[in-house]
Amino acid sequence: MERVYLDWNATAPLRPEARDAMVAAMDAVGNPSSVHAEGRAAKAIVERARGQVAALCGCKPGEVVFTSGATEAARVLENVPDGYDVLVDETAHDAVWAHADMGGLSERPNGPGHTLAMGLANSETGVITEPPEKVDGQYPFGRARADWLFLDVTQAVGRIPWSFHWSGADFACLSAHKLGGPKGVGALLVRDGFDFSPLQEGGGQELGRRSGTENVMGIAGFGAACEAAAHDLEAGVWTEIEKLRNILENALASEIKETIFVGQEARRLPNTTCFATSGWKGETQVMQMDLAGFAVSSGSACSSGKVKVPRVLKAMGLSEQEAEGALRVSMGPTTTEDDVLRFAEAWLKHEKKFRQRAA
């Protein structure tokens, strides 16, 4: 049985360009902080990748800080000045919530200053949330205003056009493995001139902003993946993927009128569909589809295996039963029309069996 991978929002398959760059980087024996020829060669690999990441993200190379991933990059939220609160959008990823020093806007809306932390594109639904425009130099958010803006662009970058500079953000985070790079490497984007406490103390690497010897091999793969992702955007690859998503949704909706497509009327990532059917647990659907040869998800990969109602889906207005029955399908550049039609056929077959048993 040929398996079909439809869980690109959890992690994208490693791009050939990233693999080749990583293999080549394995021969770089030097430490990037060393001044001899071997060290300079390793440093050159890191700086080339920094430029590739910056080119995709619309920022200066010097604004890119390499980290172990977006979760570590979000630690910058712990380093806002004393007395400043972090206001977290309710649909933000758990990695953002974990590093905020308060539980959202409602608890303490009248502090001396705020940082607004939000995700640009939701991993579970694909819904894109545009940051608010500044008013009198601050970002309005509910009953408070924020001085700074932190954006989690992990799901968005490389799939939709986005630029750090025109976004107005002060910080942003992303992970390599979401766009076809290796796992365990990512970046924090920091507005030029913005000062903050180091993410990690130690030897002072990354201009003192994140200590620790750079992961040369991983960074090389990250940079190559970013360059390939930029080419895909320019070539219209994600427009074609959006057509596949629409084919899938039409195939399901034509058979099951009651299916709820979460955020279908909103602007979404071109590759993501999240649909819900009451009563049929999302975790059960994932297991049944896995046995049928399809890799899909019932939500964020970081939450898999945890029995809980999806927080984001409830925040978007779904009932508890609907949220429990949600399934996410996410596609990528190697997904084909045959893949999505085969999945639709298999899912509809199992949905029919579930309804018959439930009757």
- Per-residue pLDDT of 259-291, as tens digits, reads 889 988 999 999 999 998 878 899 999 999 999
What per-residue confidence (pLDDT) applies to 109? 44
Q: What value does the mean pLDDT take over residues 46-50?
A: 98
Handedness of CA 95, 100, 101, 102 (dihedral sign): negative
Catalytic residue positions, numbered: 302
81: three-class secondary structure by DSSP: coil
Mean pLDDT for the chain? 89
List the one residue out of 87, 195, 72, 102 whose CA is nearest residue 143.
Answer: 87
200 against 118, higher pLDDT: 118
Q: Which pLDDT belongs to residue 155? A: 97
Position 277 scores a pLDDT of 82
Strands 326-330 and 272-276: antiparallel
Tens of pLDDT, residue by residue over 182-225, are 999 999 999 998 878 888 888 888 888 888 989 999 999 999 99
What is the distance between the alpha carbons of residues 184 and 180, in angstroms, rounded to a whole number? 12
Would you tell me how many other CB atoms lie within 10 Å of the CB of residue 17? 19
Residue 142 pLDDT exceeds 60: yes
Helices (H), 100-215: 164-167
Alpha-carbon span 102 to 88, nearest angstrom: 8
Residue type, 44: A
Q: Looking at per-residue confidence, does 317 or 198 come out higher?
A: 198
Residue 52: φ, ψ to 5°: -65, -40
User: How far, in Å, CA of 233 to CA of 55, rounded?
Assistant: 12
Residue that the structure tokens 């639709």 belong to:
344
Give the CA count within 13 Å in the CB-facing half-sphere of 150: 30
Tell me what the mean pLDDT of segment 70-78 comes to.
Answer: 91
Q: How confident is the model at residue 141 (pLDDT cuts 50, 70, 90)?
A: confident
Do residues 57 and 172 lie in contact, with contact meaning Cβ atoms separated by under 8 Å?
A: yes
Higher per-residue pLDDT: 194 or 335:
335
| pLDDT given for residue 103 in this prediction | 40
pTM of this structure: 0.91
Write down the pLDDT at residue 207: 83
Confidence of residue 313 (pLDDT cuts 50, 70, 90): confident
Q: What would you measure as the largest C-alpha separation in the chain, in angstroms?
A: 74
Beta strands 4-5 and 113-119, pairing class: unpaired
pLDDT at 108: 41
Among all chains, which residue has been given the structure tokens 């902003």? 209
pLDDT of residue 232 exceeding 50: yes
pLDDT of 324? 86
Do the bridges between strand 139-141 and strand 84-88 make them parallel or antiparallel, or are there none, so unpaired?
unpaired
pLDDT at position 168 over 60: yes
Domains of the chain: 4-12+236-358 (3.90.1150.10), 23-233 (3.40.640.10)
Angstrom distances, CA of residue 95 to CA of 83, 108, 115, 345: 22, 21, 16, 35
Residue-wise pLDDT tens digits, 82-94 = 556 788 888 888 8
Residue that the structure tokens 């009248």 belong to: 110
pLDDT given at position 101? 53
Radius of gyration of the chain (CA): 21
Encoded tokens for 101: 């020093």
The pLDDT value recorded for residue 335 is 98
Share of the chain above pLDDT 90, in %: 63
Query: What type of residue is 280?
Result: W
The answer to whether residue 334 scores a pLDDT higher than 50 is yes
Model confidence band, residue 179 (pLDDT cutoffs 50, 70, 90): very high
